[in-house]
Structure 1
Amino acid sequence: MHFNLLAFILWLLALAYTANPIKILGIFPYDRKSHFIVFKVLLQELARRGHDVTIISHFPEENPPKNYHDISLFIPKESKSRRRRSASTLERSYLNVIKGGIYLTRGGNENCKVLVANEEVQGLINRTEYYDVALIEQFNSDCALGLAYKLSAPVVGVTTHVLMPWHYKRFGVPYNPSYTSFRFLEGGTKPTLYQRVERAVFDVYFKLLYYYIAQRADERTLAEYYDDIPPLENLARDIKFLLLDQHFVLTGSSLYPPNVIEIGGFHVPKPNRLSGDLKNFVEEAEHGVIYISFGTTVRLSLMTLQKLEAILDAIEILPQRFIWRWSKEASLTMEPFNQLGPKHLALLADKNKTYIRNWLPQVDILSHPKVLAFFSHAGMGGTTEAIHFGVPVVAMPIAGDQPANAAAIEESGFGVQQPVNELTKETLISNFRKVLEPEFREKVKLRSKAWHDRPLSPMDAAVYWIEYAARNRNFTLRTPAADVPLYQYINLDIALVVAAFVTGVTLLIIALRLSIKSMTKKPLSDKKRM
């Protein structure tokens, strides 16, 4: 009763603060739609609540809502080229992790060049438009922080994923590879010794790439237009809040300072009822439905024939029906699909067993009670939606934050991991059967209930802290840990003082013992002379 009253009071306060509209600038230079569709939900809600919202992105709205203004960065040829280069393969290897770091570095600088060179953006900066707050994605480039600095706008950072390796220091978040999940690698919060060594090596690799290549390149790009922008890492430490798209019910408890706020689930909309042939396919499924989607980052055409056949063999054996979202480039005329035998082709064509489309209403599907499991690449967006509706996940991570998400899914009890390099018919069927067990599904429902149990909804929390930053724009909110030098942060100076003291005392003791020993030897030598 007391908890409900507190939630009601906080909700009234949030509504009261929203009564004063603010001017918001959103800068989202990354050109992948999978990120922006998450942010768009928040941006449109801010406009709906009466705030004036200007968005710089590659994805302008065709029919923008009231108070919502676009500055488009869209360049068709460049955008398509980058999407081709960034596609992932269904393999896990060190080479792909290394390539991922290079892609992030190059992509971030390309996005920075497009952002700063845009004439509308230059006009906005030259007019020194006033904004109460700037909402900026925290991902692979800090270029947008330079523009916010030129406009003297306080910054709120937002993510669609867990922290990147270079985010920990700037926000003063402790990072310890022995229990902190590493975004690009397996192991979760319980890594083996081998995995801890992996993390130590790749943590250095990603930070070196970012600090000494990515940020330096972005600073040179900004310097071509503006000569008074401070180092980007200094601006990054001045970010008022980071709205982190995760929640401890999934990712576990962490030592975040007060200005790092978990808002996982803010983008999940109210589902619509299924309709047409999709509705019939789901509701007529006697044994329920399993949904398969590997998002927009995994190109099914790069899947090996053996892995594709393993998935199809599992589909054939299990009694459930399957809904499978294929990426647009996947086609039966392309490899490996054109190598499938008659049995597998017949299975794909069986309208009573499989429902395949290149676009599907994912939220509407996951919300249906007959959808029993989700076979996924463990992207944070889809994972969040599955948790929201209490659907168990079989997580097969490929790249990016997916290994960390998959480990969190298993550790939190929301599903199981299916390593892509170990994908066979037998392992996949075994994992499906685990998550389809009534006891497992009931536990997932209970955890989903805990996910929803918050004093404010994720959306209300996100809006509140954005408005808070605008109302208190002159306050410094970062933790002192963000400014402490590394040698002090790990107490190296104290260790050296202690080591010097111990060494000094030890040397003193040794010197005293030698002195005493030499003094006691002299009388003995005198007796021998007598």
Structure 2
Amino acid sequence: MAVQSLGIPLLLLAVLAGGGQSANILGLFTSLSPSHLVIQMSMAKILAESEHNVTVVTALKPPLLHPSINHIQVPLDEADGKSFGALVAGMAKRDTGNAVISMLLAMGSMKPLFAKMEDVLRHQRVKDLYEHSDNHFDLVILGYFMNSLQLSLAHKLKAPQIVALSNPPAMLGTVLGNPSEISYVPAMNVVVEKGQTMTICKRFENLLAFVGHWIFTLLIEQNNDNIYKDLYGDDPSMPRYEDLHKNISLIFFASHGISEGPIRPNVPGVIEIGGIQVKDKPDPLPKDIADFLNGATESHGAILLSLGSNVKAAHIKPDTVQKMFNVISKLKQKVIWKWDDLENTPGISENILYAKWLPQDDILAHPKIKLFITHAGKGGVTEAQYHGKPMLALPVFGDQPGNADAMVSQGFGLSLNLLALEEQTFREAILGIMENPKYNQAVKAFSSLYRDRPLSARQTLLYWVDYVIRHHGAPHLQSPVVHMSFIAAHNLDIYAILLALLYISFWISKRLLSVIWRKLSSKGDTKKKSSHLKHKNKKLKKHKNQ
């Protein structure tokens, strides 16, 4: 239940709610993407279940909310929702073939995202968190989605900070001083076969992708910097915008590099908690879904079809929807289809169950599910990998094409272009995955590897949250690079001095050699002249004697 008033200090709520070992933790989860919120709220739920006193700020209504979490929702204007929907729709219908180019083309449409970040920080319910002197937080966890601007709240609260990111360390790892390693660590949507090194062409592609992402990030940061100056320009207690990240203790990444790859060096502040949203034990399914799945035969099983929370029914071309229905309605399998407009479904068929919202993780854990048709969002792919379910990917935008390509390269399924989907290829892909055991075997083998960890994702989260709190932000975890300028971190000043010394040495050597040469040349000329005079005098003397 959302907190209706912040008049009672949150510290008092904390004292009433928990024991002596509890910490006051603030989660700032304001992404407009529901899939990100699923992962972030899973983290908050785990912390609340561990008797921490958790307050969460969101823009969207959370899909799950632990009863002991203090929830503050900054209302989302209808215009904000429509603008974000239009942004997703535009990217869903734009087939650029490259995620970075797609994001760069969408930059002009991202103003609602930045406006919402600013609205959150200006909202009185958020300002109350630091304006009430009795409030105290031991830690702030920021759910990252292009919102570095909101790192400022931890500075206002004078609290250490952890960032939570729904991507691998290649994204945002440089904030912690993580090496980029462009020669062998793929950028977003660049896929390298597991165990293989990059060819020269692939390294060139990776460099271009890295530069494209750098440009995209630079544009975002410039926009955030302008908003930051407008918000805090007259506040001397606030650091420069470019110094906000120096308060980050560590980053939780939704990945598991040992199994997913690539193998790469990480600084201590990189903590991977891939699969954090997967429950140790699945919750019971809603009765209608449980009955529907139990009605599937053992030989045919069932299929889950979900294109995520951002892509709505209206974003998909009507003829594409019709083609999908024509194929799915003729399958022998039961199909659960996530569809947000239940009043206008693609069609009626006994083997299809439409649902506006689905407990995806719990459904994928069901033994009757034989295939997951997905948009290849990081969260969904992770859940399918964990439960050992083969996939058919229909990626739309962002990191989804790269996730799909990586999934295909590992042998977990196939991928098709949603914008160019045809009935025959769609049917053949579904039957090909269902009838060929290699996909099922590959993903189940990976599932065993993915689960094999010294600590589970849940245990890793709890350990490192408590560690940062115990050590008051754990500044010793930070790489020295975090506090160095770009020039110092890359030794550019040293190289400049060495080049200058080499130039000076070369110049001095050249001058010295020039002087020595002139002197030697001068002596040679004098000696030659003297020899010539002697020879001339000798000739004159000889001539006189004759």
Classify the TM-score, shorter chain: 0.7 to 0.9
Tell whether the 8 Å contact from 1:50 to 1:67 is kept in structure 2 after alignment.
no
Query: Structure 2 CA distance, aligned partners of 1:459 and 1:38?
Result: 12
Query: Structure 2 CA distance, aligned partners of 1:514 and 1:309?
Result: 88
TM-superposed deviation, 1:134? 1.1
Query: Structure 1 CA distance, aligned partners of 2:326 and 2:512?
Result: 78
Tell whether the 8 Å contact from 1:112 to 1:221 is kept in structure 2 after alignment.
no
Query: Structure 1 CA distance, aligned partners of 2:63 and 2:383?
Result: 26
1:284 aligns with 2:282: no
Local SS of the residue matching 1:230: coil
Tell whether the 8 Å contact from 1:380 to 1:405 is kept in structure 2 after alignment.
yes
TM-superposed deviation, 1:412? 4.0
What is the match of residue 485 of structure 2?
A: 485
What is the match of residue 172 of structure 1?
A: 177
Which of 329, 332, 335 lines up with 1:322 in the alignment?
335
The verdict on how the C-alpha distance between 1:367 and 1:90 changes in structure 2, with shifts beyond 3 A counting, is: farther
1:139 aligns with 2:152: no
What is the match of residue 409 of structure 1?
A: 407
**Residue type matched to 2:75 in 1?**
F
Query: Structure 2 CA distance, aligned partners of 1:278 and 1:121?
Result: 39
Identity of aligned residues (%): 24
Local SS of the residue matching 2:372: strand
Which of 259, 263, 268 lines up with 2:278 in the alignment?
268
Query: Structure 2 CA distance, aligned partners of 1:63 and 1:187?
Result: 33
Query: Structure 2 CA distance, aligned partners of 1:319 and 1:505?
Result: 81
The verdict on how the C-alpha distance between 1:171 and 1:413 changes in structure 2, with shifts beyond 3 A counting, is: farther
Query: Structure 2 CA distance, aligned partners of 1:28 and 1:172?
Result: 24
1:377 aligns with 2:380: no
> Which whole-Å deviations, capped at 9, do the CAs of 1:494-524 have from their partners, x for residues lacking one?
665676677788886999799989969x89x
**Residue type matched to 1:81 in 2?**
K
Tell whether the 8 Å contact from 1:481 to 1:489 is kept in structure 2 after alignment.
yes
The verdict on how the C-alpha distance between 1:514 and 1:395 changes in structure 2, with shifts beyond 3 A counting, is: farther
Which of 316, 337, 341 lines up with 1:303 in the alignment?
316
Tell whether the 8 Å contact from 2:187 to 2:206 is kept in structure 1 after alignment.
no
Taking structure 2 as the reference length, the TM-score comes to 0.78
**Residue type matched to 2:37 in 1?**
F
The verdict on how the C-alpha distance between 1:314 and 1:480 changes in structure 2, with shifts beyond 3 A counting, is: farther
Tell whether the 8 Å contact from 1:265 to 1:385 is kept in structure 2 after alignment.
yes
Query: Structure 1 CA distance, aligned partners of 2:331 and 2:256?
Result: 33
What is the match of residue 234 of structure 1?
A: 243
1 or 2 for the larger relative contact order (CA 8 Å, sep ≥6)?
1
The verdict on how the C-alpha distance between 1:195 and 1:324 changes in structure 2, with shifts beyond 3 A counting, is: farther
User: Unpaired segments of 5 or more residues in structure 2?
Assistant: 1-18, 536-546
Query: Structure 1 CA distance, aligned partners of 2:311 and 2:360?
Result: 16
Query: Structure 1 CA distance, aligned partners of 2:28 and 2:175?
Result: 19
What is the match of residue 397 of structure 1?
A: 395
Local SS of the residue matching 1:378: coil
**Residue type matched to 2:385 in 1?**
I
1:207 aligns with 2:212: no
Local SS of the residue matching 2:381: helix
TM-superposed deviation, 1:44? 2.3
> Which whole-Å deviations, capped at 9, do the CAs of 1:388-413 have from their partners, x for residues lacking one?
21111222322222233223323444
The verdict on how the C-alpha distance between 1:321 and 1:416 changes in structure 2, with shifts beyond 3 A counting, is: same
Query: Structure 1 CA distance, aligned partners of 2:223 and 2:109?
Result: 12
Query: Structure 1 CA distance, aligned partners of 2:336 and 2:67?
Result: 37
TM-superposed deviation, 1:240? 0.7
What is the match of residue 25 of structure 2?
A: 24
Query: Structure 1 CA distance, aligned partners of 2:383 and 2:238?
Result: 39
Tell whether the 8 Å contact from 1:264 to 1:458 is kept in structure 2 after alignment.
yes
The verdict on how the C-alpha distance between 1:274 and 1:207 changes in structure 2, with shifts beyond 3 A counting, is: closer
Which moved further from structure 2: 201-210 or 376-385?
201-210
Query: Structure 1 CA distance, aligned partners of 2:344 and 2:64?
Result: 32
The verdict on how the C-alpha distance between 1:510 and 1:397 changes in structure 2, with shifts beyond 3 A counting, is: farther
Tell whether the 8 Å contact from 1:161 to 1:245 is kept in structure 2 after alignment.
yes
Local SS of the residue matching 2:55: strand
What is the match of residue 465 of structure 2?
A: 466
1:42 aligns with 2:53: no
> Which whole-Å deviations, capped at 9, do the CAs of 1:155-182 have from their partners, x for residues lacking one?
11112233585x2331112224443333
**Residue type matched to 1:139 in 2?**
F
Query: Structure 2 CA distance, aligned partners of 1:498 and 1:431?
Result: 60
Which moved further from structure 2: 57-66 or 84-93?
57-66
TM-superposed deviation, 1:386? 0.8
Taking structure 1 as the reference length, the TM-score comes to 0.80
Query: Structure 1 CA distance, aligned partners of 2:190 and 2:329?
Result: 30
The verdict on how the C-alpha distance between 1:528 and 1:78 changes in structure 2, with shifts beyond 3 A counting, is: farther
What is the match of residue 187 of structure 2?
A: 182
1:247 aligns with 2:245: no
TM-superposed deviation, 1:62? 11
Local SS of the residue matching 1:237: helix
The verdict on how the C-alpha distance between 1:479 and 1:53 changes in structure 2, with shifts beyond 3 A counting, is: same
Query: Structure 2 CA distance, aligned partners of 1:210 and 1:83?
Result: 16
What is the match of residue 124 of structure 2?
A: 119
**Residue type matched to 1:214 in 2?**
N
Query: Structure 1 CA distance, aligned partners of 2:152 and 2:424?
Result: 52
Query: Structure 2 CA distance, aligned partners of 1:387 and 1:514?
Result: 75
Query: Structure 2 CA distance, aligned partners of 1:381 and 1:117?
Result: 31
1:152 aligns with 2:158: yes
User: Unpaired segments of 5 or more residues in structure 1?
Assistant: 1-17, 338-347
Tell whether the 8 Å contact from 1:295 to 1:327 is kept in structure 2 after alignment.
no
Tell whether the 8 Å contact from 1:186 to 1:403 is kept in structure 2 after alignment.
no
The verdict on how the C-alpha distance between 1:113 and 1:329 changes in structure 2, with shifts beyond 3 A counting, is: farther
The verdict on how the C-alpha distance between 1:102 and 1:413 changes in structure 2, with shifts beyond 3 A counting, is: farther
Query: Structure 2 CA distance, aligned partners of 1:510 and 1:419?
Result: 68
Query: Structure 1 CA distance, aligned partners of 2:285 and 2:140?
Result: 38
> Which whole-Å deviations, capped at 9, do the CAs of 1:86-134 have from their partners, x for residues lacking one?
3232443266322444445x24432232222222222221123221111
Tell whether the 8 Å contact from 1:51 to 1:67 is kept in structure 2 after alignment.
no
Query: Structure 1 CA distance, aligned partners of 2:32 and 2:419?
Result: 29
The verdict on how the C-alpha distance between 1:33 and 1:315 changes in structure 2, with shifts beyond 3 A counting, is: closer
Local SS of the residue matching 1:374: strand
The verdict on how the C-alpha distance between 1:309 and 1:75 changes in structure 2, with shifts beyond 3 A counting, is: closer
TM-superposed deviation, 1:35? 2.1
> Which whole-Å deviations, capped at 9, do the CAs of 1:137-166 have from their partners, x for residues lacking one?
12211233222112211111112233585x
Query: Structure 1 CA distance, aligned partners of 2:102 and 2:254?
Result: 25
Query: Structure 2 CA distance, aligned partners of 1:449 and 1:355?
Result: 31
Tell whether the 8 Å contact from 2:59 to 2:74 is kept in structure 1 after alignment.
yes
